Chain A
Amino acid sequence: MGKNRTMLGEAWEFLKVRKAWWLAPILILLIIVGALIIFGQSSALSPFIYALF
């Protein structure tokens, strides 16, 4: 079973066993930032920055 576990699953298990819930925000933020870097690639179709103001 252990062999098939994903990295995220292992991290979750670690938090559960060690009760280190304070580490959860780090994990969540890393996932969010990683996803945004992958999917939020730039292109010429980007909005103008001041339009986000």
Chain B
Amino acid sequence: MPHAKPPARAVARIGSAAIIIAIALLALAVVWNERIVSTIFNKGLPITPVFIIIVATMRKLIVLVAITIFIIGILLRKYRIPIARWMTRHRDTLTNIIVLVCTMLALLIIGEITARAMLGKTTFDAGGPAHKDQTAQITYNSYGFRDREFPVERPTGTVRVLALGDSFTFGHGIENDSLPWPKALERMLNENAADGTIYEVINTGQNGYQPKDELTTLERAAPLGPDIVLLGYFYNDAATDDTLRELAEPPSTWSQLKSGTHLLLFSHSYLYGFLVVRWEMTRINLGLKESYPERMNNVYRLHAGELSMHKEQLMAIRSRAETIGAEFVLVIIPANYDFNDYPLMDGEQFMRRFCEESRTACIDLLDTVRDEDYRKTRLNEYDAHPSEYGHTVLARAVMESPEFRAAMVKTSAKRQKI
């Protein structure tokens, strides 16, 4: 039987197709920007810094893939005859490789479909996509705050309170926009208002915010003229001086690509989210990684002397609040772990010292919640954020604290002077 002629022409055709695909991908990279991607894929959510990183990373990945495919196409065309001969000689190996790649792709697709069909909608189940779905339900005002619109001109007889903070203030995991502690505080204040004063408490908290973000938020919200600024402090806000200096440096292309790809997968793939969350937990459960409260507490326990920039950040927020004529109160929000065997005591003591030394008005809520059952104040069995009940407890404790009352008295005295 005569030996079949090497399929050089087929190899050349595959090469040409690769070149065309590469050119199409390059064209896609040219038009690939935040606005287009947001319209098509992002459910109309606001364009966040994280989203910009994802889009920029995707553009780089598209260019990288296009260049690779283009080079492969050129090589396939140039060396079509030796490649065709090699393919004929190694037909079995090639078939195995193709079947292997197809199996892996099929597995990933089946895994993703199964994860979407079977996993619950909590963030522990599905990671980023569940988080994204939860935040998509939330109403944001024109400032991007989780709140209603507020006119710049403050209505007469209104006391305006600005609540800065991270997810503990934003209300991570709380579906109802009126239940995070700033809004619960607003409701309680208005229910108890004796002299017809109207209280507005603006929730500016955002998931993952750090003090530098809170300072930027305060700058943006300054025209709203708050009377009181409450800074909701949580222990993952602390970072050592070295970490803050590193964060100030622009990230390398490689680290951008790495974190961008992770962000991309984590915020879209249920399978990836499921695996990443469980991988993190496996490392913690096997003692290969510190638990989350340990990690937070160790920043204060092991690096208390290296937190001067962190203290400066907090003082900068206080100073800015005072510049715009607002009373500043720092609210230390407890994590909902066992309050009587509290794993964040080093952080707690550090903050107590900071408040004392800097003479900052601080509401330390740990003592207030000690009698509470942390399983009731916690969002769920694996998330230490406050539950709806937890937010109500926090709001009441803030309202009844001597520091908040003192700030209200000072506000009232300022009004009378005017």
Contacts and interface: CB of A to CB of B under 8 A. Distances in A.
Interface of A: 21-26, 29, 32-33, 35-37, 39-53
Given A39-B278, A44-B378, 8 more contacts: A22-B102, A36-B279, A39-B282, A39-B285, A46-B277, A49-B123, A49-B130, A51-B292
Interface of B: 50, 96, 99-100, 102-104, 107, 111, 123-124, 127-128, 130-131, 167, 172, 207-208, 236, 263, 266-267, 275-282, 284-286, 291-294, 336-337, 378, 381-385
Given A23-B103, A40-B285, A45-B292, A52 B127 contact: yes
A40 B124 CA distance: 11
B100 A25 contact: yes
Nearest to B343: A45
Contact of B107 (A21, A29, A43): A29
A46 B124 contact: yes
Given A25-B103, A40-B279, A45-B284, A53 B263 contact: yes
Contacts of A36: 275, 278-279, 282
Nearest to B275: A36
Main secondary structure of the interface of A (DSSP, over half): helix
Given A25-B100, A42-B382, A51 B281 contact: no
B135 to A, nearest CB: 9
Given A21-B96, A22-B100, A49 B278 contact: no
Closest 4 CB pairs of A and B: A40-B278, A45-B291, A42-B382, A49-B123
Contacts of B385: 48
A5 to B, nearest CB: 25
A24 B281 CA distance: 26
B208 A50 contact: yes
Among A32, A37, A49, the most chain B Cβ lie within 10 Å of the Cβ of: A49
22 contacts: A21-B96, A22-B99, A22-B100, A23-B103, A25-B100, A32-B275, A36-B278, A37-B278, A39-B282, A42-B281, A42-B381, A44-B381, A44-B382, A45-B284, A46-B281, A47-B280, A47-B284, A48-B383, A49-B127, A50-B208, A53-B128, A53-B263
A49 B283 CA distance: 15
